[in-house]
Amino acid sequence: MRFRWPGSRDAAITCRRAVELVTAYLDGALSTDDEMRFVTHLTYCPNCVEHLQHVRGTIRATGRLQMNDLDPQVRTDLMDLYRRWRADGTA
């Protein structure tokens, strides 16, 4: 069954289109109409739901790259810089 949202001629979008919209969807940057089309598509397309999960997994995996590897020496140097700036205002 294909239904139409009021005010739009044809609310249905293809999987190709849904995949194109994923990044904007996750950013909350879709127009109200596009977001409705996107979400509606997901309700009847398990493949695109799976794809969305892939993108979320990808973001998580990429987020693992963050390492707070601050060298103690660097920290000391920067604190010295700050103290000099505070002392004479010139850094």
> Which residues sit at the interface with other proteins, rule CB under 8 A?
14-17, 19-20, 22-24, 27, 29, 47, 50-51, 53-55, 57-70, 74-75, 77-79, 81-83, 85-86, 91
5 vs 44 by CB, closer to other proteins: 44
Q: Which two tokens stand for residue 46?
A: 């398990």
Question: Distance between CA 80 and CA 57 in Å, rounded?
Answer: 41
- In the complex, the smallest distance separating the C-beta of residue 7 from other proteins, rounded to whole angstroms, is 23
In whole angstroms, what is the distance from residue 32 CA to residue 10 CA? 15
Q: How far is the CB of 4 from other proteins (least distance, A)?
A: 18
